[in-house]
Structure 1
Amino acid sequence: MDYQLLPFRFERFNDTEYLLTNEVGEYIFLQNEDFHRFVNGEMDIHSDLFYDIESKQIATTDKVEDVVSMLATKFRTKKSILRDFTSLHMVVPTLRCNSSCIYCQVARKNRDDHSADMTKQTAKNIVKTIFQSPSPCIKIEFQGGDPSTDFEMVKYIIEEAEWQNLFKKKELDFVICTNLTLLNEKIVKYLKEHNCMISTSLDGPKDLHDTNRPLQDKELDHHAIFEKHLSMIREIWGNNDCASALMTTSKYSLGRFKDIIDEYIRLGFNSIFLRSLNPYGFAKQYKEKIAYPIEDFIENYKEGLDYIIELNKKGTFFVEGFAALLLRRMLTPFATGFVDLQSPAGVGIAGVIYDYDGSVYVSDEARMMARFKNYYFRLGNVNENSYQEMFNGELLHHIISSACTECLPVCSECVFQPYCGADPVRNMSEQGDMIGFRPTNEMCKKTKSIIHYLFELLHRHDPEINRIFWSWLN
């Protein structure tokens, strides 16, 4: 053999080809006969195909140590998000909400129930804890309930954080997650003044949105209020980028992804994140009524992605968020900050959530599990525990040690491992332990299927599709 094989993963991609990937996500397709010739050391090192393989550091004719050094640099870049530690800090000022979403993942409270409101002392301790993070960038995201039901507490936390940051001098951002219905001009002007972006939820056209996300006051038209307030927000901010939206797929959404996408475009959004149902809260409790086989979501997702690609081909710039996230991992050397797909898992070390009572959980999903009396992923409480006890304690070390795809069963050998991530919270919720069992793991099925489909699209070498994908990344 005139060349040295370097670590790579492989899988038969179709009847005639194999897909090979290395530790940093470089990939290549090889015809069956070329693959066998390559692994048997019989490939011509002067062929164009071998030059292509060598350029992706899957084999080398050079000194192995030099190539490994280059791979290590790329690997550090891919994992650079770990260097800053926790940057996303979600805060729950209250559990009060005026919606009755059929898939609500937390035990929400009615608007007049103040039993789950945050106190100022707890808020002050949360902000103090947040600014002990070594990350130079801090994003505080207000979750709920609906944070707008206790906007005075939101203001208190924003202003306390801004005061702290006069001394810490970090890059500080705010986001509020709200259904928009309780916002008014005064609130929106305050949010703009403090550069607090708005994240909301839109599940599709009026009938679908109101089915998935009805208001507790049945007399009110959720979708109509949403549209009116969205217009007001954009007028005050002077642009459409101040508010982003997420959708959640219930069984009523299946077969309607084109309608949902069209509604996003009609309302002036330039992206959508086609999101499946998370198995927490009511979504798990009433699974028979609103859930569906993950295969149905995958089929709908592919149809939705194809439709979005066609819209882009016709001149409408519109991004599918999950595909863009995966494509950035597949096509660029850079790290991505999406907490749900990190290795080691992003829980606790990329993002964390502070509940209304000061309890700290490794993720929003962990908080949802706690609503139903499972406190496994609770790191501590800001009123009782120090930063070091919570973020450098045994529990978080144990969670992260069980959440590296590079060494998890099945994941470690998977050709898609460089683009994927671990989710110990969901594994615990669905399968009873943090590692989980891949053959029956729905998150694994969904992510692998979507990555595979993106590779299918890339492998067509269609210049229009490639142009569209790169426009999403740029």
Structure 2
Amino acid sequence: MIPTSAITNMQSRKFKEVEHYQSPSRDYFLLPFKFHRISVEKEVIVNEVGDFLVVPTGTTTRIVAGEINSGSVSDQELYADLIANFFISESALPDLIEVLATRYRTKKSFLDYFTSLHIFVMSLRCEHTCHYCQVSRVTSDKNKYDMSRLHIEAGIRLMMKSPNPHVTMEFQGGEALLAFENIVYAVEKAKIEAEKYEKKITYVVCTNLALLTDEMLLYFHENKMLISTSLDGPSFIHNKNRHKPNASSHQLAVEGIKRCREILGSEHVSALVTTTTLSLEYPEEIVDEYVALAFRNIFLRPISPYGFATRNKDRNKYEAEKFLEFYKKALGRIIQYNMDGYFIREDYASIILKKLLTPFPVGYVDLQSPAGLVNNVIVFNYDGAVYASDEARMLAEMNDFTFKLGTLGENTYEEIFYGNKVAALSEVMTNESLPGCSECAFQAYCGVDPVFNHATQGDLIGHRPTSSFCQRNMEIIRYLIALMDKDKKIEKIFRSWITGKS
């Protein structure tokens, strides 16, 4: 029953005069765009395909009010930019609307071939005891935690059913090298199947490098395999974060990186930083370590809220603001190295910059809409369970199987990729239609992560104002735009990061 007070309010509420709802008289038509204030003096406007303009604060109000005058000397350049970048049009339907449509399709072309990245968790065993481990690793003597060859074969069969002609087969752990014989088995089996299905396969091994042997290096070289490792900074940080009993994990990682470069080539070796509370105090030292080891790129990423990381809150839990402070200081150091003549890029910024400055899509799962889970990545766990993403697999190690899609050898490709769970997920995988995202100026540059939302907020859609995913991405995107607007030298450096030309 409606309260009497509510009825009284409805009866007393009056519509404004019709003139209030009429559009202002303009010499142009508005096209869809969003806006965001990036500083006191400046705001950025962004159209549907991610083209942006940095303009004086208040310009959005003037555009909407129809106050931009093509005949005014002060507005001529702005008017031309607004027309050229599809913010306004001189006709109800722009003459070049098909160009805009083509650019939108190009931005979304990562969907054309469906799943590319297939992660095989070869073993849960590991000889490190990293306090931020995102999977509940087991000690190295528990062989029952290796992926069986039946599951390896079933995973390869599903990979071959992907419509994508170029797939990536990534071996993870635990420590993947503890199951090296099974890696060899998987690669040889995949090579045979790839010939049948006319697919190209890229092989990636994720490893801490502590167990690397000459035999392994020779095999990786013969098969043009890529190596992804972890380097959290100088030894006093890395050894604390990535503890190995009775050994220096930092020394083993550095030696392994050098050996891989000698045999495989520098372009076949990459490293990642995981930022703990200890790391937050040393942004410049971490960057310096990467430069000292002659890296040309560094990927600064926050801790993930999964697995062991959640059990060590004192060392692993921090607010988004703390990470952003760390990130900006580290990015400043990286920019300074570039200004001094040493080319090194920050990978997360580079991904965002590609979305900002080019018409092309990116393959990074966390910054895709529709979300990259299933569309771009699938995970085959050591026990045969199939998950929608690597983070979904990590969540399962906390006994949350929300994103388990099936089991290798038991469920068909259609049941896994087109089943009820994926159908339900697809409703929350597009940020164009999510509350808080649909009206955000940075929507075109961001992504959506229902697994993160579920893990941190207990909801697949999530609540944007309290989401650390949202807070981090909004501020990093704003900061990158503001830096480019402030200093053209920085913009030139940023453009070199996405072209690879210093």
| TM-score, normalised with respect to structure 2 | 0.92
Q: 1:288: how far off?
A: 2.9
Q: 1:39: how far off?
A: 0.9
* 1:24 correspondence with 2:53: no
Amino acid across the alignment from 1:455? I
Amino acid across the alignment from 2:400? N
* 1:50 correspondence with 2:79: yes
Query: Conserved in 1, the CA contact under 8 Å of 2:45 and 2:60?
Result: no
* 1:205 correspondence with 2:205: no
Query: Conserved in 2, the CA contact under 8 Å of 1:428 and 1:434?
Result: yes
* 1:70 correspondence with 2:95: no
Question: Alignment partner of 2:469: what SS?
Answer: helix
Residue from 91, 110, 131 that aligns with 1:102:
131
Q: 1:290: how far off?
A: 2.6
Residue from 136, 140, 151 that aligns with 1:111:
140
Give deviations 1:352-392, integer Å, cap 9, x for gaps.
Answer: 11001211101111001111111010110121000011101
Q: 1:36: how far off?
A: 2.5
Distance (whole Å) between structure 2 residues aligned to residue 209 and residue 292 of structure 1 = 18
Give the corresponding residue for 1:37.
62
Q: 1:443: how far off?
A: 0.8
* 1:328 correspondence with 2:371: no
Sequence identity, in percent? 41
Distance (whole Å) between structure 1 residues aligned to residue 41 and residue 255 of structure 2 = 54
Judge which range, 31-40 or 108-117, deviates more: 31-40
Give the corresponding residue for 2:252.
225
Give deviations 1:387-431, integer Å, cap 9, x for gaps.
Answer: 011101121121121121101001000011000000000000010
Query: Conserved in 2, the CA contact under 8 Å of 1:272 and 1:321?
Result: yes
Distance (whole Å) between structure 1 residues aligned to residue 387 and residue 253 of structure 2 = 31
Query: Conserved in 1, the CA contact under 8 Å of 2:365 and 2:371?
Result: yes
Query: Conserved in 2, the CA contact under 8 Å of 1:60 and 1:67?
Result: no
Give deviations 1:314-335, integer Å, cap 9, x for gaps.
Answer: 0000010000000000000000
Residue from 465, 469, 474 that aligns with 2:490:
465
Residue from 15, 23, 27 that aligns with 2:40:
15
Give deviations 1:47-98, integer Å, cap 9, x for gaps.
Answer: 1211001111011114515443222111100000001100001101110111
Residue from 449, 459, 472 that aligns with 1:446:
472
Give the corresponding residue for 2:17.
none
Question: Alignment partner of 2:210: what SS?
Answer: coil
Q: 1:127: how far off?
A: 0.3
* 1:277 correspondence with 2:303: yes
Question: Alignment partner of 1:226: what SS?
Answer: helix
Q: Give matches, 1:378-457, under 5 Å.
A: 378-457=404-483
| TM-score, normalised with respect to structure 1 | 0.97
Q: Give matches, 1:46-445, under 5 Å.
A: 46=71, 47-62=76-91, 64=93, 66-215=95-244, 218-237=245-264, 239-445=265-471
Distance (whole Å) between structure 2 residues aligned to residue 43 and residue 315 of structure 1 = 42
Give the corresponding residue for 2:7.
none
Q: 1:41: how far off?
A: 1.3
Question: Alignment partner of 1:245: what SS?
Answer: strand
Query: Conserved in 2, the CA contact under 8 Å of 1:3 and 1:45?
Result: no
Q: 1:344: how far off?
A: 0.8
Give deviations 1:438-457, integer Å, cap 9, x for gaps.
Answer: 11101110111100100111
Residue 221 and residue 11 in structure 1: after superposition, are their counterparts in 2 closer, same or farther (change >3 A)?
A: closer
Distance (whole Å) between structure 2 residues aligned to residue 328 and residue 417 of structure 1 = 14
Distance (whole Å) between structure 2 residues aligned to residue 444 and residue 35 of structure 1 = 23
Distance (whole Å) between structure 1 residues aligned to residue 316 and residue 54 of structure 2 = 40
Distance (whole Å) between structure 1 residues aligned to residue 258 and residue 429 of structure 2 = 42
Instruction: Show structure 1 runs of 5+ residues with no match.
Output: none
Query: Conserved in 1, the CA contact under 8 Å of 2:45 and 2:54?
Result: yes
Distance (whole Å) between structure 2 residues aligned to residue 143 and residue 246 of structure 1 = 14
Give deviations 1:290-349, integer Å, cap 9, x for gaps.
Answer: 321111110110011011001000000001000000000000000000011111111111
Query: Conserved in 1, the CA contact under 8 Å of 2:278 and 2:315?
Result: no
Distance (whole Å) between structure 2 residues aligned to residue 202 and residue 143 of structure 1 = 16
Query: Conserved in 2, the CA contact under 8 Å of 1:340 and 1:421?
Result: yes
Amino acid across the alignment from 1:222? S
Amino acid across the alignment from 1:19? V
Distance (whole Å) between structure 2 residues aligned to residue 306 and residue 355 of structure 1 = 39
Aligned length: 470
Distance (whole Å) between structure 2 residues aligned to residue 454 and residue 33 of structure 1 = 21
Question: Alignment partner of 1:411: what SS?
Answer: coil
Give deviations 1:125-159, integer Å, cap 9, x for gaps.
Answer: 11001110001110001111011001011111111
Q: 1:12: how far off?
A: 2.6
Residue from 28, 33, 45 that aligns with 1:3:
28
Amino acid across the alignment from 1:157? A
Distance (whole Å) between structure 2 residues aligned to residue 33 and residue 469 of structure 1 = 28
Distance (whole Å) between structure 2 residues aligned to residue 18 and residue 257 of structure 1 = 29
Question: Alignment partner of 1:150: what SS?
Answer: helix
Distance (whole Å) between structure 1 residues aligned to residue 131 and residue 146 of structure 2 = 23
Distance (whole Å) between structure 2 residues aligned to residue 94 and residue 424 of structure 1 = 26
What is the RMSD of the two structures over their aligned residues, measured on CA atoms? 1.2
Distance (whole Å) between structure 2 residues aligned to residue 34 and residue 209 of structure 1 = 48
> Which of 1 and 2 has greater Rg?
2
Q: 1:45: how far off?
A: 2.7
Question: Alignment partner of 1:455: what SS?
Answer: helix
Question: Alignment partner of 2:301: what SS?
Answer: coil
Distance (whole Å) between structure 2 residues aligned to residue 340 and residue 400 of structure 1 = 15
Q: 1:33: how far off?
A: 4.5
Amino acid across the alignment from 1:227? V
Give runs of ≥4 in structure 1 deviating > 4 Å: none
Question: Alignment partner of 1:337: what SS?
Answer: coil
Question: Alignment partner of 1:115: what SS?
Answer: helix
Distance (whole Å) between structure 1 residues aligned to residue 37 and residue 208 of structure 2 = 45
Question: Alignment partner of 1:468: what SS?
Answer: helix
